[in-house]
Amino acid sequence: MRWTVLRRFAISVMLAALVLPSMARTRPHYGGTIRVEMEGDPWQRPDSLARRLVFDGLTALDANGIARPALAIEQKSESDDHRWQFRLRAGVHFQDGTPLTSVNVVSSLMAACPANCPWTMIRAVGSSVVFTSDSPMPNLPQLLASDDYRIVLAGAGSGTSIGTGAFQFAGFSNGVLTLAANDTCWQGRPFLDAVEIHVHRSVRDQWLDLGVGRADLVEVPAEQLRQAHDQRLTVATAPAVTLLALQIPDLGFLSNANLRAAIALAIDRSALSNVIFQKQGEVTASLLPQSLAGYSFLFATDRDVNKARELRGGLTTPAILIGAEGSGAMQLAAQRIALNLHEAGINAQAAGSSQHADLVIRRIPIEGGDAAAALESAMRRAGLTAPVTEQTLAALYQAERQFLERRTLIPLLFLPRAWAAGGRVRDLRLGPDGLPDLAVASLEDSK
Amino acid sequence: MVSAFAGTASIAAQPPVAQTGPWDQPAGALAEQIAAVVGLGQAHLTVRNLSTVRSDELSAISRLLEQDLKAHGVTTSGAEGASAVRVTLSEDARQRLWVAEIVEGTETRVVMVALPPGNTRTGAAASGLTLRKQTVLTTKNPVLAAMESGNVLVAVEPDAIAVFGRGPEGLKPQTLMNIGQKRALARDPRGVIMPAGGGQGFEVWLPGVECTSSLAPDQTTTDWKLHCHESDDPWPIAWPNAAGTAMTMNAATQGNVQARSLSAFYNSARNYFTGVVSPGVGVDLPPFYSAAVIPRPASGVALLISGIDGKVQLAENGALKQVTGARDWGSDFAELHSGCGAGTQIVASGSGEASSDSLRAYEVPSLEAVPASAPLAMEGTVAALWSAPDGMSVLAVVRNTRDEYEVDRVTALCN
């Protein structure tokens, strides 16, 4: 049944490809509703598609992952990056008509980051927002482009869903989140009239819906990329944008550095890549992909079970529970790592979820095209709050190595992020983290 | 224990040096850093390539490293007890990175040198004529239309008009005049600019706004005054030019060549013209993105349009006819009086969805568009395309991969 449906879809895509060139490609058409389906929560990382459409940041990442002005039109660094001043763009309004001011930007950022922020203090000064810190903040413009720091209108009657973005919240019903075009968006009205996001939908159901024309855009997990290509789905892929890493807390019996090092050496990354993720992963022991930093190869990825046994010594531990963020292949990865640890004489088992696990396999988005900022962002997600002030690759390598030698975060694989699109979707572009930018997408049959 | 140390100077991109090969300087810089770690003595050097450096260049790079190490007192050999130096030629998306791992006993130290990425060049094949481009302006602000006039370039932005003056060091910003745009714009707003009647100013059309600016003969180019008002009047899509070619057609006399301009109503909430033009062309036009008046052997002139349905059609003698051979065209085209071939060509943007667009010249002798040039790569997406006032060049606005806007002047060379 599934094969039949998908084959029908594949044929329809081929037909579309045959029909479309009979006339010239045009500028994007306005109008239409795009139907997106996803497994995760579109308001939360790493699937924050809705968050990205409704809210803007002071800065935004361009196609190359470099920060450019967004709600802030100008930025100025002083005192060796200890102080940053961002001047706000004039004439921007929230979707309810409230003007964007430095005061509501400060309120939003303080709510978004109550502690361990990249800055020490933030305040409104006229039409500017000023950040100060005890440590230099060379990566602040890049960090402010993150989904975490998008500007939300605080105290709005309908909660916290009012921003300045291309789309505005229109409703949530029966698992479908509806966003409507913001006609007065400061970046211009988007081409689409609306975006419907069917949330918490299994990948299998997503593909079936795409096949019968009930969805326009669905997820393609890394381990199913080959299958998607075999079935001739129209797939957009962002390579190596998600870091799969094992987080080991420096707590309890896991505070033993030798045990953490033994765990790191026992993991068979190649098997994870080849078996679980169908050779779509890029094996790594580094936080940054080779394409971003160029020195990733300096971190050895080899498995060494004998060395792991040696490091463990005679230590006996309670059963280590290994959990994973996400389902499917992520749970299989947890099982595989438990098996790897068993082979090194370490008592471990898969936990089924990440809630009560000792070790957690995490998906960490690698954001942007700036190595220093991407490293700081990844390290912050791993719980390290110290800024990355180094800017040369040699110094970054040093900082990363020092961090990884703690063995509290074990990089495993870089995974691509991919989406399959129906025949009427046009101008689909993926952002630097692999999420689609629907503010510039359009539909073929709209006029 | 692994450590890395490299000074700021050594990690900075190495500029090319005249009279030397491309690898001399990075090899020298890396050798200097290696020698600082190893000191005087022997080293066992291996070089591997994880980059796009051609494999046949590897031996030359190895030789350069050996020579430079020797100059710093480090002799390369296979002797036992020598420091092991493993050099990896690596790269990321932005630059090349040469890394040396120096193993001495149980300790490994790392030094590295960054150098610019390899050059990529594109070539163009020749046919009837060759298009060439010259970037006249690069700016971070969106440019909707642009016009060159004497020593100034006027760029139309969504909410301002920017005037740049040409000096010995190129274009420099002179004046920025706010339009006072009150209307919310669409995602891809468009605009038109054309010379004012007396040639001492310009007129601008934007969604819902019309502006005029003038300059008295005794004023300098920094004295521009801009007057804007809300307007839904039609935009000019063709006008008489200095090349002497008639740019319009008269509805009443269908095909009678007259030197009058042609205007079209623009849908300010969207990105296209409604199809209503003034004066009429004797046939109802569908909504379209671009239009150009082209000379025709039989009828004098005809109006070429690219419809929002993707069809390229010709309005001629009171009839609308589909043009074949335009499948590769995007939505934008402009007329170019090159003097080559038939004298007038249509320069059309490519229809690919790739990040880099292209322009190509075509002639339309009958109802078929015939390529007259090879495609010209534009290194970005063509966002707007308009004929220059003299018709001898086309100005293209290109949004490049760095999200900057380039104004490129495109001209033709006869082959």
∠ CA A111-A114-A118, nearest 5°, is 105
Measured between beta carbons, which residues in chain B are less than 8 angstroms from residue A392? Answer: 6, 8, 11-12
Measured between beta carbons, which residues in chain B are less than 8 angstroms from residue A398? Answer: 3-5
| Cβ-defined contact of A189 to B186 (cutoff 8 Å) | yes
Q: What is the pLDDT of residues B284-315, one digit of tens each?
A: 999 999 999 888 777 678 899 999 988 999 99
Query: Chains A, B: CB contacts under 8 A, how many?
Result: 140
The token pair at B330 is 């995007």
pLDDT in tens, chain A (447 residues): 333 333 333 333 332 332 333 344 578 899 999 999 999 999 988 889 999 999 999 999 887 788 989 999 999 999 889 999 999 999 999 999 999 999 999 999 999 998 889 999 999 999 999 999 998 999 999 999 999 899 999 865 545 689 999 999 999 999 999 999 999 999 999 999 999 999 999 999 999 999 999 999 999 999 999 999 999 999 999 988 899 999 999 989 999 999 999 999 999 999 999 999 999 989 999 999 988 889 999 999 999 999 999 998 888 888 899 999 887 899 999 999 999 999 999 999 998 777 789 999 999 988 778 899 999 988 888 777 777 887 788 999 999 999 999 999 999 999 999 999 999 998 888 988 899 999 999 998 754
Chain B interface includes A369 (CB < 8 A): yes
Q: Determine the 3-state secondary structure of B1 from DSSP.
A: coil
> Closest chain A residue to B354 measured between Cα atoms?
A427
Q: What is the pLDDT of residues B187-212, one digit of tens each?
A: 889 999 988 866 678 999 999 999 99
Residue identified by tokens 């296979």 is: B78
Chain B interface includes A293 (CB < 8 A): yes
- The Cα–Cα gap between A393 and A298 comes to 12
> Closest chain A residue to B403 measured between Cα atoms?
A62
| Cβ-defined contact of B309 to A290 (cutoff 8 Å) | no
- The Cα–Cα gap between A376 and A443 comes to 37
The token pair at B162 is 């920017």
Q: What is the pLDDT of residues B348-368, one digit of tens each?
A: 988 665 567 889 999 988 888
Among the partner residues A28, A185, A292, nearest to B92 by beta-carbon distance: A292
- The Cα–Cα gap between A75 and A60 comes to 13
Q: What is the pLDDT of residues A76-123, one digit of tens each?
A: 999 889 999 999 999 999 999 999 999 999 999 999 998 889 999 999
| Cβ-defined contact of A23 to B327 (cutoff 8 Å) | yes
Measured between beta carbons, which residues in chain A are less than 8 angstroms from residue B94? Answer: 369
Query: For residue B11, what is the enclosing H or E element?
Result: helix B8-11
Q: What is the dihedral of CA A281, A284, A288, A294, to 10 degrees?
A: -100
- The Cα–Cα gap between A17 and B16 comes to 46
∠ CA A254-A258-A259, nearest 5°, is 40
Chain B interface includes A23 (CB < 8 A): yes
Of the residues A23, A95, A370, the best mutation for testing chain B's interface (the one with the most B CB atoms within 10 Å of its CB) is A23
The most distant pair of C-alpha atoms in chain A lies apart, rounded to whole Å, by 73
| Cβ-defined contact of A24 to B310 (cutoff 8 Å) | yes
> Closest chain A residue to B312 measured between Cα atoms?
A24
Domains of chain B: 24-115 (3.40.50.10610), 129-414 (2.130.10)
pLDDT confidence of residue A315 = 81
| Cβ-defined contact of A188 to B184 (cutoff 8 Å) | yes
CB B414 within 8 A of CB B338: yes
| Sheet hosting strand B288-296, strand order edge to edge | B235-238, B262-266, B273-278, B288-296, B300-307, B312-316, B319-322
The nearest CA of chain B is from the CA of A390 a distance in Å of 10
| Cβ-defined contact of A24 to B306 (cutoff 8 Å) | yes
The token pair at A225 is 């990329």
- Whether the link from the prior residue into A436 is cis, omega within 30° of 0, is no
> Closest chain B residue to A19 measured between Cα atoms?
B327
The nearest CA of chain B is from the CA of A209 a distance in Å of 25
Task: Report A:233-292 residues touching B (Cβ under 8 A).
Answer: 290-292
| Cβ-defined contact of B327 to A22 (cutoff 8 Å) | yes
| Cβ-defined contact of B99 to A392 (cutoff 8 Å) | no
Task: Classify residue A118 as exposed, middle or buried by CB count within 10 Å of its CB (0-12, 13-18, 19+).
Answer: buried
Among the partner residues B6, B93, B289, nearest to A369 by beta-carbon distance: B93
pLDDT confidence of residue A144 = 95
Q: What is the pTM of this model?
A: 0.80
Measured between beta carbons, which residues in chain A are less than 8 angstroms from residue B91? Answer: 294
| Cβ-defined contact of B11 to A190 (cutoff 8 Å) | no
How large is the ipTM?
0.70
pLDDT confidence of residue A244 = 96
CB atoms within 10 A of CB A175: 11
